[in-house]
Amino acid sequence: MADDKGSKALNLRFKDAQQHQAITHAARAAGVSVQDYILEAALRRALAVQDRFVQAALDAHRITADAFADLDPQDSRPDTELRSREHAASRSLHTDADHRRGSAA
């Protein structure tokens, strides 16, 4: 992917010859260069992280919308089921964020 300033280079060193060989064979089988194969895999992984983030945001929106839809302005009592769903959504978001940080390494 070139930008207005030209192409950016990234030099990869394979510490494991078997990894390099496996990627080379897979690229050949796919009919693309090793560079294109690696770039496509990296982009697919990056977009998957983005997709998980968007899905978590949509889930949070849905849960919040459901929570407000259930509220009765005349009722000020705490709703334990609602609180439980809010806590579950929060845990899910934190788990997804921890997963993204762990898989980015």
Per-domain residue ranges of the chain? 17-103
50-82 pLDDT per residue, tens: 889 999 999 998 888 877 776 666 665 567 888
Q: Is the pLDDT of residue 17 over 60?
A: yes
Average pLDDT, the chain: 82
> CA–CA separation, 94 vs 63, rounded Å?
15
Q: pLDDT value at position 73?
A: 61
75-92 pLDDT per residue, tens: 655 678 888 888 888 888
pTM: 0.46
Q: Which residues of 48-69 are buried (b: 16+ CB within 10 A; e: fewer)?
A: eeeeeeeebeeeeeebeeebee
Would you place residue 1 in the very low, low, confident or very high pLDDT band (cuts 50, 70, 90)? very low
What is the rounded average pLDDT of the residues 3-32? 86
Q: pLDDT value at position 5?
A: 64
Q: Which of 98, 33, 7, 18 is nearest to 41 (CA)?
A: 33
